[in-house]
A and B are shown apart, each in its own frame.
Chain A
Amino acid sequence: MTEVELARGEAVELAYGLVAREAERAGVRVLALKGPVLQLQGIGDHRVSTDADLLVDGAVDELAERLIALGWKKRPISEVVRVYPEHSVELFHPRWPCDIDLHRFYPGLFVGPEKAFELLWAERVTVILAGREVDAPSPAAQLLILAAHALRGRGGRAKHDLNLVLAKLRSDEATRRDFERIATEARSRYVVGDVLSALGCDYSTDLSPGEQDAWDRLVAGNGTSTAYHAYSSVVSGPWRVRVRAGASLLRAAIVSARPESRRLPDGSLRPPWWRRLGPLLHDVTLARHEYASRHPRPKPRNWKRN
């Protein structure tokens, strides 16, 4: 009997079980998203996840505190104002080879955190992970989550996941119908518009211009680019918001200049932002092009003299 290194697959499955157990003790409802749940639902392949994602009904901070008492630590988040708010608390443990992501809401489900949770909870299924029952969204809802996630990424993994979603929906008519219904109820039709179009479904936007813009900026920033989100918050929106965003950016620049705020979980130091200026500007440029491709500016009219 030894305390040895966990394999990542083992750690991820145990982490789902651990969160479900602590949530049950705290009386908090959670739903297991993606990861090994996909395989159990006949959706995913055997690729090992890097983290355990769970959607939490409200009490994210209370649940995080329980995990912190067991040795988990919060990953620091950037203080920069974002167009699209932070949606999860990320936790790591020095001796576990995976993270835990506790989601306050899932990006792309514009119906709102509470209604989205209730929608997914109402059709939940139970899977067995780490020897215990864990609640999870139905396969169709799980596919919606996976599609929303894949459509805000650009890499090979995103394409792979999108292909998984399309393959499953093309092969299963009942799940396709459920997928479309849940997308409508979750106000995600714009978000998964590419999937609906590929399936030949009638597709029209269900978001306000502001929501649509926030989503497009999230997608343009590849879901994670802090630099682009900082840029977006300074150049878009009302002036009052821009001034506040500019001030927060300045504050974040000062704070992140300090070595103690740049220490990574493994103890190493991240280079200060001015040494990463080239890649950060590159991120912003790429994201601006991506955003512009979704929002082509109207061509100037050719005025004719009388």
Chain B
Amino acid sequence: MLEEGDSTVWRPRDGVLLLASSTRVVLLGPESGQPIVLEGVAKAIWHALGRGNSSAGVVATVLREFDVPDDIAVAEVSTFLHSLREHGILMAAGTTA
């Protein structure tokens, strides 16, 4: 689970393949043969990460864009980050100042 105010920023690993449309994002991990699809909240989280947001910043984005309680937003972002690291798609790129 994320710590409050987690300032880690994330970036895709080298070799990740990516397709983005208005409705969804399709990703293929660098060692994977099967793509995964991000829609809805997952797509919003991906775009928030792409704008250089920290984990805490992504949670704030989810709270702003979706009508969800704080604990659900934190859980969603935490699960998302864990899963994309498991798939070898995301890596920590440092922290916000």
Interface residues of A (CB under 8 A from B): 1-4, 6, 10, 13-14, 17-18, 21, 70-72, 93, 95, 130-132
In the bound complex, residues from chain A placing their C-beta under 8 Å from that of B26 are 6, 10, 14
- Picked from B30, B33, B80, the residue with its CB within 8 Å of the CB of A1 is B80
Nearest 9 CB-CB pairings of A with B = A70-B33, A131-B18, A71-B33, A130-B17, A17-B17, A1-B42, A4-B37, A10-B26, A10-B19
Determine if B60 is an interface residue (Cβ-Cβ < 8 Å): no
Pair B34/A95 contact, Cβ less than 8 Å: yes
Q: Apart from A1-B80, A18-B17, A130-B17, what are 4 other A-B pairs with CB-CB below 8 Å?
A: A1-B36, A70-B33, A130-B18, A132-B17
Pair B28/A3 contact, Cβ less than 8 Å = no
Q: Are A72 and B36 in contact, CB atoms less than 8 angstroms apart?
A: no
Q: Does B94 lie at the interface of the complex (its beta carbon under 8 Å from any beta carbon of A)?
A: no
A2 to B39, CA, bound (A): 8
Closest to B37 in A: A4
Number of interface residues of B (CB under 8 A): 20
- Closest residue of B by beta carbon distance from A71: B33
Q: Mostly helix, strand, loop or mixed at chain B's interface?
A: mixed
- Alpha-carbon gap, A4 to B34, bound state (A): 10
Minimum CB–CB distance from B10 to chain A (whole Å) comes to 15
In the complex, which residue of chain B has the Cβ closest to the Cβ of A25? Answer: B15
What are 30 A-B pairs with beta-carbon distances under 8 A?
A1-B36, A1-B37, A1-B42, A1-B80, A1-B84, A2-B36, A2-B39, A3-B36, A3-B37, A4-B37, A6-B26, A6-B37, A10-B19, A10-B26, A13-B19, A14-B26, A17-B28, A18-B17, A21-B15, A21-B17, A21-B30, A70-B32, A70-B33, A71-B33, A71-B34, A72-B33, A130-B17, A130-B19, A131-B19, A132-B17
Question: Which of the residues A2, A4, A14, A95 comes within 8 Å of B19, measured between beta carbons?
Answer: A14
Bound CA–CA A132/B28 (angstroms) = 12
Q: Is the CB of B35 within 8 A of A6?
A: yes
B95 contacts chain A at the CB level, 8 A cutoff = no
> Restricting to B16-59, which residues have a CB under 8 Å from any CB of A?
16-19, 26, 28, 30, 32-39, 42
Min C-beta distance of A265 to chain B, whole Å = 16
CA distance in complex: A71, B36 (Å): 15
Q: Which one of A2, A17, A93 contacts B33 once the chains associate, using CB atoms below 8 Å?
A: A93
Known A-B contacts A1-B42, A6-B26; the reply to A14 vs B16 at CB < 8 A is: no
Shortest CB distance B36–A (Å): 6
Instruction: Determine the chain A residues whose CB is within 8 A of the CB of B18 once the complex forms.
Output: 130-131
Given A17-B28, A130-B28, do A3 and B17 touch, yes or no (CB 8 Å)? no
